[in-house]
Amino acid sequence: MCSSPWPSRSLPLAGPELPLRPPEAQKRPRWIGILTLILVTGKGHGARVGRELRTSPVALARWEAGLRSPTPTRATRECACMRAHLLVLLVTVLPFAPVGRAMAGEPTSERPYAVLSDVAYQEGETAYQRERFTLDLYLPAEPRPFPVMLWFHGGSLRRGDKAAESAVRVGTRFASEGIGVASVNYRLSPRVTYPAYLEDAAAALAWIHANVAKQGGDPKRIFVGGHSAGAYLAAMLALNPRFLERHGLSTSQVAGAIPISGQMNSHSTVRKERGFWQSAPLVDESAPIFHAAKDAPPILSICADDDVPMRAEINRSFIDAMKAAGHRRSRLLVVAGRNHGSILGHMDAPDDEVATAMLEFIRGTRTESH
């Protein structure tokens, strides 16, 4: 069997190698400890002790207090031995097992992808920056090289996280289908203002472009997508060359964009930062529609039929503006029976309309220059 290409603890970076933090600590149920006792002490003795601990609160209390007993009885010594074995197991094995939403390590037959959490895509000077300048990678085992989608979470540019349930759902579904996903954190308003969050998005894409080939990805097939505020970031990244140019890249490095329920006018949070009434429409250089162009990457815009007010209409206007500019590879999908919050809610269903459209778009998009 060939050796695996997947790193278990760290990921090569363009600069010095930075360690990955292990998945977040999760509270594990008591049965894991009891099972561990059986494994490390032998079937007979371990099963007896485990049964006693499971059924007797007094025995459990004595076991927990064993190392603090003033007299080193045989039971105390056995307890100390078992606790030592348990500690070794907890330190060396369980931090890298799939627990909760975070996973790490090699693909398996049940999970045909690896997840690498909290990968730094640029250096941060403060704790907040170091937290927000990270991404989670969902890396399929095959085929190789695979296309990659940068995914930006929603939250009105004021909240949200790369490990939100909807982001994890996108990452796991697409990685299972042979498409890599980089779920990206970025700085949020009001700690920063426009265009800081777009600069972060561009830095994440530049890092993926420089490093994804080392993990089996195709740097010529990098897509961008996101929901709500994340859709705004994805659209701006694909349409406004300003942000990628500072990294020596251009919008031609974006193979396609999938904004879902996004604001194609200037984002309401950007308007608020500038002192405008949040619901007042504004079209300037901070609006995706302002940058409609013939040579833009292919775009699949998706909205719900019961989305937030005017969201579907704004996206129709956006697609119309793209076509008026001579762009022939943009279209709008309006999904029936969904709203702004539920449009990604069925991503893990095999026949989900949103996931199917996204997969077809990525697989069917040619990668020649735009």
Cβ 249 vs Cβ 209: under 8 Å: yes
Closest listed residue to residue 309, CA positions, set 330, 281, 347: 281
pLDDT tens, residue by residue, 40-86: 344 444 444 444 444 444 344 333 434 333 444 444 444 444 454 44
Q: Which residue has the higher pLDDT, 144 or 287?
A: 287
pLDDT tens, residue by residue, 168-210: 999 999 999 999 999 999 999 999 999 999 999 999 999 999 9
The sheet carrying 217-227 orders its strands as: 113-120, 134-140, 180-184, 146-152, 217-227, 256-260, 299-306, 330-339
**pLDDT given at position 279:** 73
For residue 306, name the pLDDT band (cuts at 50, 70, 90). very high
**pLDDT given at position 105:** 55
* pLDDT reading at 37 higher than 60: no
**pLDDT given at position 280:** 74
Calculate mean pLDDT across residues 110-121. Answer: 92
Closest listed residue to residue 318, CA positions, set 235, 249, 209: 235
d(CA 330, CA 365): 11
What integer best gives the mean pLDDT of the chain? 80
d(CA 366, CA 368): 6
**pLDDT given at position 111:** 74
**pLDDT given at position 369:** 45
Calculate mean pLDDT across residues 224-240. Answer: 99
Token pair listed for 245: 């140019």
Q: Which of 61-70, 137-146, 153-162, 353-362 has the lowest mean pLDDT?
A: 61-70
Cβ 318 vs Cβ 234: under 8 Å: no
For residue 335, name the pLDDT band (cuts at 50, 70, 90). very high
For residue 95, name the pLDDT band (cuts at 50, 70, 90). very low
**pLDDT given at position 143:** 83
For the chain, domains (ranges, CATH) are 30-95 (no CATH), 113-364 (3.40.50.1820)
Cβ 134 vs Cβ 203: under 8 Å: no
* pLDDT reading at 25 higher than 50: no
Question: Considering just the CA atoms, what is the radius of gyration of the chain in Å?
Answer: 25
**pLDDT given at position 10:** 35
* pLDDT reading at 14 higher than 90: no
Calculate mean pLDDT across residues 120-142. Answer: 97
Q: Which residue has the higher pLDDT, 60 or 222?
A: 222
**pLDDT given at position 101:** 37
**pLDDT given at position 74:** 47
Closest listed residue to residue 158, CA positions, set 229, 258, 210, 77: 229
- Residue 339 phi/psi, 5-degree rounding, is -125, -170
Calculate mean pLDDT across residues 241-245. Answer: 98
* pLDDT reading at 164 higher than 50: yes
For residue 106, name the pLDDT band (cuts at 50, 70, 90). low
Calculate mean pLDDT across residues 244-251. Answer: 98
Q: Which residue has the higher pLDDT, 258 or 9?
A: 258
